[in-house]
Structure 1
Amino acid sequence: MDCHVHLMPERLIAAIRGALTDDAGWSFPHPSTQGEMERALRAAGVERYCALPYAHKPGIARELNAWVAERAETSEMVVPFATVHGEDDVGAVVNEAFEAGARGLKFQCPVQELAPDDPRLDPAYELAAEHDRPVLFHAGTAPLFEDSPYVGVEKFRTVVESYPDVRACCAHMGTFEWEAFVDVLADHDNAFLDTCFAMSSAVGEAMAFDPASVPDSVFERHSERILYGSDYPNIPHSYVSEREHLLSRDLADDVYRDLFHDTAERFLGER
């Protein structure tokens, strides 16, 4: 299972890619339409993926969530997530999305200018607890957000501690503050990390981070709370490189089963 895939309307994907090209100089070799994406993922051995939208401005979340839900109806691969903007009617939008089948929430904190501990999101977390739905955040500073006031380990920790019944995941292993985010895992059973982008064998071509700086012991100790994700299709490197570095490590078979499948099911509340 790939727990970090962006399935969104073509116009929105194109805008995101344009922004990343302008800000970071990246180019994108991967298709962005559902059919082509799923053929590529299936060829890579992916059985299911979490489809993560995010609303960069108010007023679009409802339509975006409905679009993702509709795509899930046509594909057994899609695990639909939903999003909401802080200036929306947060409780109403999230409740509607959960009633329509959304399996979790996604927040791209720096782009949405919405910190994890923003009190406007409290209704979303309350509904997530009530419906047993997880939340996935881009709450770390990588790759371009070291100066953003909307990210950081303490903002993530506040949510984890305030809502112990909500499973909360930080994307990108929490880079560049990965050590501090791993400490949150050690202290809180409802905290998770995903591997996307930061653990790619090609990550050094796109940002100043060495995945080898994260020792094997982190995955061995916390495999039940670390899950594989890729950020596909908005990655400037090959899909295989997202797994290449992880698979080059000398980890036990049960650790790999956790990383690539079982922990995703735990995060989704399926086991």
Structure 2
Amino acid sequence: MTGNGRSDDAGGSGRDDRFSDVTDAHVHLMPERLMTAIRSALHDEAGWSFPDSAAQADVERVLRAQGVARYVALPYAHKPGIARELNGWLLERAGASEMAIPFATVHADDEVRTVVRDAFEAGARGLKFQCPVQGCAPDDPRLDPAYELAAEYDRPIVFHAGTAPMFEDSPHVGLDRFRAFVDSYPEVRACCAHMGTYEHEGFLELARERESVFLDTCVAMASTAPDLLGFDPASIPDAAFEDLAGRIMYGSDYPNVPYAYEREREHLLSRDLSDEAFDALLRGAAARFLGEASP
């Protein structure tokens, strides 16, 4: 065992004592047909292939073996009329799981207030919007009923609001549109996935300014990011994780990543962070985001 708590092995991919009882704040759990369509689209657009099964039992087996105790299960509705059924499916699956924390989604052209209220009443812990795919920016007024309910029920929201990996030309993403949401709903905890790449510097600054703003690490902080995204995770200094401890959450985007799970965490675990910052990254920030812990 090395001094930093990492188990030595020939491949350098052994378990790390720090990576235990982890909350993975960004995992996708969806019906097989929908997941297959999403993976096909990612393969066509980005050339990605996926080494691991997306079946819930297989996903949870991998997460548990890696040291994850629980995960935030995220759906998204790419077209109107499917959110209610999708939310119901996920809530049912989460109800039978000891690991899954169910979020819900809604399409901007649905009966937004009804769909979201029903999901919250059924136990959904938050909302997820994949902005460029769903065709709705964070400040889209069609989503105001969802945001009002998030404030009323004290439920957080995860947005894909950054331009990575292929959305630099999308009108539905970007720092300005996320900031507009934060200005309108400062009481709602909001996470920008993927560290806000490729506008990560602006998103980090916004998180410093606003206590309600969170970021998650998925894909952008993986050791594969330079090749996969053209983004160097080392460009975000250790100081950002120290300064924003409690508001940067570990997330993996599993199982829709074109690499083994270990690649998601190995760069993060190589950083020279304090024990407090690691604890916040791997557990504490997610608890705050979910409303389980005070700021």
TM tier, smaller: over 0.9
Instruction: Name the structure 2 match of 1:30.
Output: 52
Instruction: Name the structure 1 match of 2:277.
Output: 255
Structure 1: distance between partners of 2:209 and 2:72: 26
Instruction: Name the structure 1 match of 2:90.
Output: 68
Return the match for 2:165 from 143, 153, 178: 143
Return the match for 1:234 from 256, 277, 284: 256
Give the drift of 1:203.
1.4
Structure 2: distance between partners of 1:32 and 1:266: 28
Return the match for 2:174 from 149, 152, 155: 152
Return the match for 1:85 from 101, 107, 118: 107
Deviates more, 1:45-54 or 1:198-207: 198-207
Instruction: Name the structure 1 match of 2:6.
Output: none
The size of the alignment, in residue pairs, is 271
Give the drift of 1:205.
2.4
SS at match of 2:85: helix
SS at match of 1:88: coil
Instruction: Name the structure 2 match of 1:108.
Output: 130
Instruction: Name the structure 2 match of 1:190.
Output: 212
TM-score by length of 2: 0.91
Unpaired segments ≥5 residues, structure 1: none
Q: How do residues 16-27 of structure 1 correspond to structure 2 at under 5 angstroms?
A: 16-27=38-49
Instruction: Return the structure number with greater helix share.
Output: 1
SS at match of 1:59: coil
> Do 1:81 and 1:102's aligned partners in 2 also have CA atoms closer than 8 Å?
yes
Give the drift of 1:232.
0.1
Q: How do residues 170-181 of structure 1 correspond to structure 2 at under 5 angstroms?
A: 170-181=192-203
Q: Which runs of 4+ in 1 moved over 4 A?
A: none
Structure 2: distance between partners of 1:123 and 1:59: 17
SS at match of 1:47: strand
Structure 1: distance between partners of 2:106 and 2:283: 27
Instruction: Name the structure 2 match of 1:224.
Output: 246
Structure 1: distance between partners of 2:277 and 2:182: 24
Give the drift of 1:44.
0.4
Return the match for 1:199 from 221, 231, 255: 221
SS at match of 1:107: strand
**1:77 aligned partner, one-letter code:** M
Instruction: Name the structure 1 match of 2:267.
Output: 245
Structure 1: distance between partners of 2:243 and 2:259: 29
Give the drift of 1:93.
0.3
Instruction: Name the structure 1 match of 2:148.
Output: 126
Q: Between Structure 1 and Structure 2, whose CA radius of gyration is higher?
A: 2
TM-score by length of 1: 0.99
SS at match of 2:25: strand
Give the drift of 1:30.
1.1
**1:36 aligned partner, one-letter code:** D
Give the drift of 1:178.
0.1
Structure 1: distance between partners of 2:146 and 2:219: 27
SS at match of 2:57: helix
Structure 2: distance between partners of 1:196 and 1:166: 21
Instruction: Name the structure 1 match of 2:191.
Output: 169
Structure 1: distance between partners of 2:229 and 2:27: 20
Return the match for 1:7 from 11, 29, 33: 29
Structure 2: distance between partners of 1:209 and 1:18: 24
Give the drift of 1:29.
0.4
Give the drift of 1:204.
1.9
Instruction: Name the structure 1 match of 2:286.
Output: 264
Instruction: Name the structure 1 match of 2:65.
Output: 43
